[in-house]
Amino acid sequence: MLIALVREVSPTIDRCELTHLAREPLDPARAIAEHHRYARALAGLGCEVQWIPAAPALPDAVFVEDTAVVVDEIAVITRPGAPSRRPETESMAGALAHYRRVVTIAAPGTLDGGDVLRVGRVLYVGRSARTNAEGIGQLAGHLAPHGYEVRSVEAQGCLHLKSAVTEVADATVLLNPAWVDRRDFDGLTLVEVDPAEPQAANALRIGTAVVHAAAWPRTRERLEQRGIHTVPIDVSELAKAEAGVTCCSVIFES
């Protein structure tokens, strides 16, 4: 069974952290409605959706992906690069303790889950403004005993690695070659985003389906032409907070 951990949108989301986008008016009520439709879509794809405790005082709390990296054997609780986000991790650790042994990233390491892309037994980790070399090294140390390889790669021009590249099928990734180096993913099948849709590389694979932001139809057509079933969903209000479809859930097998 697939478990999808999610958390309600904070009513203070309009005060979220921003790195690459200019702040613009953000309607919390609309963001909440989008997020509920997102949760229903996950349920429709076979996930058991579980809501972890709300955190109304934490503007970015809905973006639970950044708080944990979960593999079959353990859960790694991160230390987010933005100090304002570090209080988000405690409730995620409590939720994951029901399913996995929990370990943590310690100072001075920083690691955002949005910088971690797992493809089989390899985890690509983006060096970004939110994730440093110490955090990557600690993650590698936690995972190596379980047979995982961690590869550090550079992401530029975007918030997280998974803003630039995500898995959409077995050994197949969707990427924006302006934000990551194609050579870092040698051995995988690469599908490039449509040049007119640079933000379209963020996709959430669930089984044989791929959840994808409705705003990027040209890139979605490229996926469909390869036989990849896509599920478009409107996250346009959440996107004003630099959100993608991966960042609002932590999904793993129970």
Identify the CATH number of the domain in which residue 155 sits.
Answer: 3.75.10.10
pLDDT per residue rounded down to tens, the chain (254 residues): 999 999 999 999 999 998 888 899 999 999 999 999 999 999 999 999 999 999 999 999 999 999 999 999 999 999 999 999 999 999 999 999 999 999 999 999 999 999 999 999 999 999 999 999 999 999 999 999 999 999 999 999 999 999 999 999 999 999 999 999 999 999 999 999 999 999 999 999 999 999 999 999 999 999 999 999 999 999 999 999 999 999 999 999 99
As beta bridge partners, residue 101 has: 74
> Catalytic site residue 47?
no
d(CA 221, CA 229): 10
Pick the catalytic residue from 160, 212, 229, 248: 160
pTM above 0.85, yes or no: yes
Known active-site residue 160:
yes
Nearest by Cα to 191 from 151, 218, 160: 218
Q: Which of 16, 47, 158, 247 is catalytic?
A: 247
Domain that holds residue 161: 2-253
DSSP 43: H
HSE-CB of 21 using CA atoms within 13 angstroms: 18
Q: How many domains does the chain have?
A: 1
